[in-house]
Chains A and B, each alone.
Chain A
Amino acid sequence: MSQLSEIQTGFARAVLNAKDPVPEGVESHLRTKPLKRFGVYRNNVYVSLVSVLEGRFPVVARLLGEDFFKATARVFVEQNPPNSPVLMRYGGQFPEFLEIFEPVADLPWLGDVARLEWAWNLAYHAADREPVGSEALAAIDPSTAASLHAEFHPAVQLIRSVYPVVTIWSENSKDGEPDHIDAGAGGEDGLIVRPGIAVEVRHLPLGGAAFIAALTKGKTLGEAAEAAFEEDTAFDLQANIAGLIASGAIAELRAG
């Protein structure tokens, strides 16, 4: 007689491996191995996980078309079963999977589109926090601005891509036919914020991502501005600070 945990492990393995036989302990009233019935169970597990991915990556699903997406997602589910019982955490490896999945090799930007959608999901489920308000900002002496440290809102996500990922995403997340997009038009960086309850995806200006990345690493406003100028001399410091504050990306600005 097997231990319960062994039966459960064997059952779980058989559910996710379509070629495995019906697991030990699973019998029908006819005392035969119910291969078809177990197949129904197995299929329900796949179908529900595929539909989780479809809901989480709607733009990737639209770009690939329903049938192709479902077939792709099924292969992903086979190779990456959930490792958490919380479904909102499922699908984090999907972007990397798309980058090495041979049938979509001619869509090299697809992984970054999925990455943006995953970041959207993280922002959606992130903790609530009030973004920095005008009173707190007014209390800061501008002459100390260069040494300020920024604490970001928990929902903030940064996306950097060598493809026009923000345009691809936004054109395909609205109703109607997307505009023509030149995938070779150059890279785009995006900032994902959720100051209240609605997730927003913003296209960052030149140097903006380097600025935010430096601030995230604990650099001061002055150091981050230098990092941004180093990446792109067209970096507009004033517009970037204003953009970060107005978008609700910053939770707190601290001295020193």
Chain B
Amino acid sequence: MQSKTRKISSLAIAGAFAASVAAVGATPVVAADDMVKCYGIAKKGENDCKAGPGTSCSGTSSVDYQGNAWKLVKKGTCGQVSTPAGKGSLTCLTTRPSGQNYQCG
């Protein structure tokens, strides 16, 4: 059986590969250890982890900006996040300026 004619030369592939590696360069992918847990900024159901007792981790916060639900954010940015319910915090928030209370324990 005759082998199929190659439409693309390996030289063309080598060129495309070299060019794409150069184009990508050192694209930084944010590593998990550059992230911190930031409480009180996740929208409803979008927390990365921790919410009240009886819930099992991610996606379980039931209100926006729940004080005991955290979202991973880039280090150094947590306190800068402002939400309608107050600023983000590196520790669990039992109360929020809006008056809501959450269980942290």
Contacts and interface: CB of A to CB of B under 8 A. Distances in A.
Kindly name the residue among A128, A140, A222, A229 whose own CB sees the greatest number of chain B CB atoms within 10 A: A222
B3 interface: no
Interface stretch (A65-73, A161-169, A182-190, A233-241): A233-241
Contacts of A138: 21
B2 interface: no
B29 A196 contact: yes
B17 to A, nearest CB: 4
Interface residues of A, number: 31
A242 B48 contact: no
Contact of A241 (B20, B31, B48): B20
A100 B48 CA distance: 34
Contact of B13 (A55, A128, A137, A237): A237
B104 interface: no
A206 interface: no
B99 interface: no
A241 B15 CA distance: 11
Nearest to A248: B29
A245 B72 contact: no
A4 interface: no
Contacts, number: 84
Interface residues of B, number: 29
Contacts of B29: 131, 195-196, 248
Contacts of B72: 197
Nearest to A221: B13
Interface stretch (B4-12, B76-84, B85-93): B4-12
B17 A197 contact: no
Interface string A214-244: 0000000110011001000000011101100
Interface stretch (A5-13, A102-110, A142-150): A142-150
Contact of B26 (A128, A134, A140, A248): A134
B32 A246 contact: no
Cβ-closest 4 pairs across A and B = A145-B17, A242-B20, A146-B10, A241-B20
Interface of A: 55, 58, 128, 131, 134, 137-138, 140, 142-148, 195-197, 221-222, 225-226, 229, 237-239, 241-242, 245-246, 248
Given A137-B21, A196-B30, A238-B16, 17 more contacts: A128-B32, A131-B29, A134-B21, A134-B25, A142-B14, A145-B14, A146-B13, A148-B17, A195-B29, A196-B31, A196-B32, A197-B48, A221-B13, A222-B6, A229-B8, A238-B15, A241-B20
